[in-house]
Each structure stands twice: as C-alpha cells, then as structure tokens.
Amino acid sequence: MDLLKKIRILADAAKYDVSCSSSGSDRENKNSGIGNASFYGICHSWSEDGRCISLLKILFTNICIYNCSYCVNRCSNDVERALFTPEELADITINFYRRNYIEGLFLSSAVYKSPDYTMELLIKTVKKLREEYNFNGYIHLKAIPGADVNLIRLAGLYADRMSVNIELPSEKSLKLLAPQKTKESIIKPMSFIHNQLMEKSESKKLMRRTDKFVPAGQTTQLIIGATPESDRTILKLSENLYKYYDLKRVYYSAYIPVFNDNNILGMTSPPLLREHRLYQADWLLRYYNFKADELLTEEEPNFDVSLDPKINWAMKNLNLFPVEVNTADYNMLLRVPGIGLRTANRIVKARKAAYLNYDSLKKLGVVLKRAKYFITCNGKYYGECEIETDKIKNKLLPKRNVIEGQLSIFDIDNTLNNLPIIV
Amino acid sequence: MVNYIFDGTFDGLMTVIYEAYYSHQHPNDIFSEINHQINFLGHDVFVSTDIDKSNKVQHAIETKISNKALRNIYYAYLSELESSYMLIYRYIRLGFKIGKKIDYFIQNDIVHEVTKLSQKVRHEAYKMIELIRFKEVKKGLFIAKIHPDYNVLPIIMPHFAERFQDQYFIIHDEKRNLSAVYDKKAWIITDIPLQDISNMKDTEDYEILWKMYHKSISIEERKNLRLQRQHMPKKYWDMLTEKQ
C-alpha cells in the first residue's frame, strides 16, 4: 500500500482527537540536530473546519481489537485499514518538519494485537526520531489504555506530552459504549504519569541533571453529547482532573455521530455551541480562579448556551457589581465580563501611571460592549440601563439567535483573545 | 525646525535621534532618503549613519527607559511606514522624560500608537513563522518565498536558524528583493539576486502527501471556512503548499 493511501486513511481516523497543541515544552535543539520546541506552541495551518494544525496528528494503525461503539475504528466497522512502519512515519515527520508544515508529531493508535504490542510500536517510532534523526521537535504520544507501566515510563522519556483519553464522562457510559475498556485501565496510566512527574520534580531538587519526562505534562479528552451527562458533571470531572492529576488540559469534543448505533442518543448535528461553552468554562477554572460550583449548581446543571459562562455567573451575582475599575482588586477585575487576563494586568499597571478614564479602557483592551454593564469608571456608570438581570440580558443577547457551524472563539468572547497562545 | 534625512537603516534613525538631541534642533519631520524628494523650501539636514552614536542611543534607551521600549522602537521601525520615524522620535523623547513607566502608560496616544504598530509587526512576523513553506529545491537546500507587509526577516531568522541548524536554507522576501541566507553556522540578509527563483520546485513528493494530510484531517461536519480564513488570511495563500 502506498504512503499516500496510508496518510489518507490514518489521518482521517485520527481527526476526532481534538488536541493538536504544541505548547508547554521548551526542548532545545542540541547537538546541532533538527528542531526545537516553542514554549507557547506554534500553529502551522488551519484545516477547512477552522481547527489549527500544529502537529502531524496521525494513527500508527486503525486496525483495532476493541469494539467501542462511539469509535469509528471499532473492529466491527467496515472501513479501510492501514498500518505504518516506524521508518515511514519517522521519515514523513522529518520531511514535513523541514518544510515548516508542522511543529512535531502527535502519534496515537488503535489497539493492534495487544496494548503492549501497540505501545512498543509507538515507542520504536519516537525512539528512531529522537536517536537516529536527532529530532528535538515536539512529540505528543498517546498512552494506550492497558499497556504496561514500564512501557509508559519509557515512552515518557521521549515524548513532550502524553495523554490518555477518558472519552466518556462517567463509568456508566463507559460500560455502555466501551465495554472492553474499564475505568481502571484509563485511570491507571494517568495516575502513573502523574506520579512519575511528581517524582521527577522531587529528584530535580536533589540532582543537577535529570532526564526529561513528559515536560509538557499530560492531557485528556471528553466526548460531549454522546451520553446524557450534564455540563456540571463534566465540569466537576475536569476540575478534579486538574486538581488531583495536575492535567495541563482537558479537551472537549462535540460528538459527531459516526454511524447509527442503538447505544447512542439519537443525534443529528454535533453540539458545537455546548462544546464552546464548556471550553469557556474550562478557561474560567484554569485562569480566572473560578470553581465549578460557582458556575453551575445542582438546580441548574447546564449552561444557558445563549450567554457565555462568565456573563451567566455575573448575572447571578449582580450584587457584586458594578466594580470601579480604578480601585477594584485584580481578582475582581478578572471576574468582569469583557475583561480578560491580559487586560486585567494592563489595568492594574496602567492605573499606577494615571487615573483611567472611560476612553482609555478601550485602548487597554477592555471589551466595553460587555464590560460597560458591570463597571464604573471614576464613579460613573456607562451601561445605559439599570443594573437588573433582564435589562442587561436583553442588551447582551445576540441579535441573531441561530449560530451555525463551529464558533470562532474570537467572535464570541474577545476576552479569550487575551490569553497566552495555547492551542 | 529642520527635516532630518537618513539612509533608511535602523542605525541611521538612531543617529538622527542622537543629532537631534545634541544639536537641540527638534525635527519638523524625519525621512528616509529612499523615499524623500528634496524640498527646496524646507531646511533639510542629511545625517550620515554613525554606529557609535547609534549604539549610544540604543544603550541609553535600554538603561534609561527599558528593553521593551527598545524592542517596540525596533519593531515600529521595521513597519517601514514613513510616519513611524517621527512617532519613534516622540516616543523616545517621552521615554527619556518618564522612564520605565512608559511600558504601561498605554493611555497616552504616542505610547498607544507605537505599541500598536509594534504589535502589528510582531503579529505578522509570527504569521510568517507559522506559514512559511520551504521547498527542497536541491538535495539539502531549502528555499521559501514570502511577501510580508512589513520587513520581518530580521525578526524571524533567529527562530529558523535555531530550529534548522543542520540544513541550508534561504528565505526570500519578494517584495523587498531581500534574501536571508543560512549556511549551518550563521545567517545574513543580502540583496544579491537569486537565480531562477520564480519557478522553483520541490524535488521530492512530500507536497502531495502534505496536501492529502491537510484534506483528511478536516472534519466535514464542522466545516467553517470563515474561521480558517481568519487565521490564514487569503493574502498569504500563494505561499501555502496546501492551498495550491
């Protein structure tokens, strides 16, 4: 089978994995080899669905022994199958990299023959890249659920980032849709990686040089909308993953029906807006010091998709507003809709130099369209309506009610514009 | 009030700043000689570039204002906008007056303008780092062509030189007829013309594989061409292998 065909089949089979990030590692180009990693990550292209392409995201093979019903690669599905060799993959990676198409490799795989056997193939490929080709670019490796921890340790020495996908947000859904996988087989490698990372950071204190072990940490992915979990369940799960496993990212993937199956809720189009709101809420957890319980309650376990989660929260806590931009502390500024991380930083610095007036807020990057309802500037309120939920909501709701397709982060919430580049 | 004319280089501009300060002659305007037509009415002063004076000014900016200010000035200069030279002059004057505080004095119009211009240049440099596509035109020699709005070659070369230490490469700016050349040791920017650059081809088949990859990784159900264009502006598509 020729390479072109393999790429067609195995890129197509990898496309449902959301992560394509190349951030978090600052691996240097040593020994005058090829490649280095940029700490903030670099995108190199965008596909027609608007998603960034940073890494060569591909499966080693889509030949699978499992039969998970949410997955396009399940063994009972009638699709074309292909299998790379480590040489082929290493060669494509290097040659794409030299042409500046990609930032590195994101290698995943279906479970071929056995979890251990598959893991060994992945390791063989990245070992070749690092040792034979002298490649110092970014490598993201999937930890195959069920693989021996010693193999995962070995893989972690070559990779910048590793991930184990949880996919289904509850054990019940896992049993229903992926009966051959267990919660145990997912959590075990995740906690193993976490423990290794902690061990490394301990030994760094004692030794001058230690080997790098997944310097960019680990991530995971949850499928949204294939099973009936609420936003609250999902967000609480993410919060715990950040807290107990110190994950770098949790990705959310709106479920795209790959074929009709009795197990899966009757759905037609992927819940993209819901996915978008979860990402926004995820950002609030990681960068804005919000707690999942503040954003969603048991009585209202799902987001109002017409408004972003920060506005949702502000609406429920109007008694805290408006805040005076010239005096409010940093943490309160962060909670104002329309003020992001970078803007809050700028405000705190700029008001040392001079009093801020309303016009200068725009220069500092405040999105006044949203912020004006929640702030005062030198004591004056610019919201042009009373501070009441209905009146503000009325002004904030978009004119068009239907928003189609994948949303652009930058249209919906300019506050995200102010984040460091993490893709 | 005089018009200062310099040779268009960054050192030249810094020399102008030096002369303006020490001669106490505030500029009416500052021109690069590349674009300037001699004006018989005004009082033109030609400033010849002096590296020592330039270094002194740069050192003063770094110590008396900040590193960030010097970087903003350099990036604003690379915009090559005629209006940027006077803006830079005003920014430096303000900087020498208020010092490091200038970094967060964004309410001020001059600071805001310089910061905005510097950001635009940095943004385009970053886009180039993302979107440059090399072709292997001969075994081991890689060439890329770009046509950025701003003169970003000096900003992006350190990135590629660090990354591709083991390959010979050239990045050619078609708009300015400049080529940045790396020889596995160091890089230079030169205006020596390259031969046969118009119809260069990749000698290997990886372009075909890349196009196939690019097509296959996209999810049909999430198609969003507007978002794609937002990140990959159409003006750069002729550089992109996957868009040909």
Find, in chain A, the residue whose alpha carbon is nearest to that of B219.
A49
Q: State how far residue B243 is from chain A, nearest Cα, in angstroms.
A: 10
- Which of A16, A45, A356 lies at the smallest CB-CB distance from B242? A45
CB-based contacts of B171: which residues, under 8 Å, 6+ apart?
A: B132, B143, B144, B145, B146, B153, B156, B157, B160, B179, B180
Phi, psi of B147, deg, nearest 5: -145, 65
Is A315 in contact with A307 (CB distance < 8 Å)? yes
In a shared domain, residues A189 and A322? no
pLDDT at A412: 41
Q: State how far residue A276 is from chain B, nearest Cα, in angstroms.
A: 13
Find, in chain A, the residue whose alpha carbon is nearest to that of B137.
A99
pLDDT at A184: 87
Domain count, chain A: 2
Over chain A, what is the mean pLDDT?
88
Phi, psi of A269, deg, nearest 5: -115, 150
Packing angle between helix B206-216 and helix A3-12, nearest 10 degrees?
Answer: 20
Residue A75 near chain B (CB below 8 Å): no
Q: B219 and A52: CB-CB below 8 Å?
A: no
Is A337 in contact with A311 (CB distance < 8 Å)? yes
In A68-212, which residue ranges form alpha helices assigned H by DSSP? 86-98, 115-127, 149-158, 171-177, 183-206
Whole-angstrom distance, CA of residue A83 vs CA of residue A119: 14
Q: What is the DSSP string of A344-401?
A: HHHHHHHHHHS---HHHHHHTT--HHHHTTTEEETTEE-SSS-S-HHHHHHHHS-S--
Last residue of a domain, one of A295, A325, A355: A295
Whole-angstrom distance, CA of residue B32 vs CA of residue B35: 6
Whole-angstrom distance, CA of residue A161 vs CA of residue A156: 8
Residue B168 near chain A (CB below 8 Å): no
In a shared domain, residues A12 and A87? yes
Residue B223 structure tokens: 């198609």
Percent of chain A with pLDDT over 90: 65
- A339: containing domain: 309-396
Last residue of a domain, one of A295, A324, A358: A295
Last residue of a domain, one of A263, A295, A327: A295
Span B232-242, pLDDT tens digits: 999 999 999 99
Instruction: Tell me which residues of chain A, numbers 179 to 218, contact chain B at a CB-CB cutoff of 8 Å.
Output: none
Span A330-352, pLDDT tens digits: 999 999 999 999 999 999 999 88
For residue A207, the domain's CATH number is: 3.20.20.70
In a shared domain, residues A105 and A13? yes
What pTM value is reported for the model? 0.90
Mean pLDDT calculated for residue range A174-189 = 87
In a shared domain, residues A290 and A327? no
Query: How far apart are the two ends of chain A, measured CA to CA in Å?
Result: 33
Residue A327 near chain B (CB below 8 Å): no
- Which of B130, B162, B213 lies at the smallest CB-CB distance from A7? B213
- Which of B184, B204, B224 lies at the smallest CB-CB distance from A405? B224
Residue A12 near chain B (CB below 8 Å): yes
Instruction: Identify the segments of chain B with pLDDT beneath 50.
Output: none
Helix, strand, coil percentages in chain A from 3-state DSSP, rounded to 5: 40, 10, 50
Amino acid making up residue B69: A
Residue A36 near chain B (CB below 8 Å): yes
Whole-angstrom distance, CA of residue B154 vs CA of residue B175: 15
Residue B218 near chain A (CB below 8 Å): yes
Whole-angstrom distance, CA of residue A46 vs CA of residue A29: 26
In a shared domain, residues A146 and A246? yes
In a shared domain, residues A72 and A187? yes
Within a domain: residue A30?
A: no
In a shared domain, residues A100 and A212? yes
Whole-angstrom distance, CA of residue A155 vs CA of residue A288: 33
Domain ranges of chain B: 2-124, 128-243
Within a domain: residue A416?
A: no
The answer, yes or no, to whether residue A403 has pLDDT greater than 60, is no
Nearest partner of A153 among A180, A193, A203, A121, judged by Cα: A193
Q: State how far residue B107 is from chain A, nearest Cα, in angstroms.
A: 5
